């Protein structure tokens, strides 16, 4: 379960980076902003899982 959540976080971060880069390439500010938001969501998911791991030990 925890590995699955970590993978989701990494996927969100990667998709966000792609969206941000694509938005910058075509000059689409909305796409750039969506990419940043998706990266943030992935970062939060990663942080949550790291905190869970810290308490398990």
The reported pLDDT for the residue numbered 13 is: 95
pTM, whole model, 2 decimals?
A: 0.82
Provide the pLDDT for residue 2.
66
Residue 30 CB coordination number (10 Å): 9
Q: How far is CA 31 from CA 21, 25, 45, 54, in A?
A: 9, 10, 21, 35
Q: Of 17, 13, 16, give the one whose Cα is nearest residue 45.
A: 13
| pLDDT for 1 | 55
Could you tell me the two tokens for 13? 């971060």
Closest alpha carbon to 13 in 39, 49, 37: 39
Mean pLDDT in each 10-residue stretch from start to end of the chain (57 residues)?
A: 82 96 97 97 92 84
């Amino acid at each position: 379960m925890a590995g699955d959540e970590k993978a989701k976080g990494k996927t969100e971060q990667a998709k966000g980076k792609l969206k941000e880069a694509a938005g910058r390439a075509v000059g689409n500010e909305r796409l750039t902003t969506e990419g940043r938001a998706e990266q943030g969501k992935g970062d939060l998911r990663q942080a949550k899982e790291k905190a869970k791991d810290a308490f398990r030990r």
